[in-house]
Structure 1
Amino acid sequence: MFRTIPFTALAFAVALTKAASAQDFKLTSTSLSEGQQLSLSLVFKGFGCEGGNRSPQLAWSGAPAGTKSFAVTAYDPDAPTGSGWWHWNVVNIPASIVSLQEGASGQEIMPKAAQELTNDYGTKGFGGACPPPGEVHRYMFTVHALSTERLELPESPSNALAGYMIGANTLAKAHITAVYNR
Structure 2
Amino acid sequence: MAKNNNYNESGGSFARIEELHESESWHFLDYVPFHAVGDDILTYDSFLRNSPYLERFANQIGFIALTLVAEYPAVMILTEEDEFFKTHPDLKPEVNIRDLSFEQLNAIIHDVIVQDLSSVQILFPEQDTLLDIAGELQVALYNASGEFLHNIRLLAQRNGLFLMYHAEDDSIYLDETPDNHPGDKNLP
Instruction: Name the structure where strand makes up a greater proportion of residues.
Output: 1
TM-score (norm 2): 0.28
Task: Choose 1 or 2 for highest CA Rg.
Answer: 1
TM-score (norm 1): 0.29
Instruction: Name the structure where helix makes up a greater proportion of residues.
Output: 2
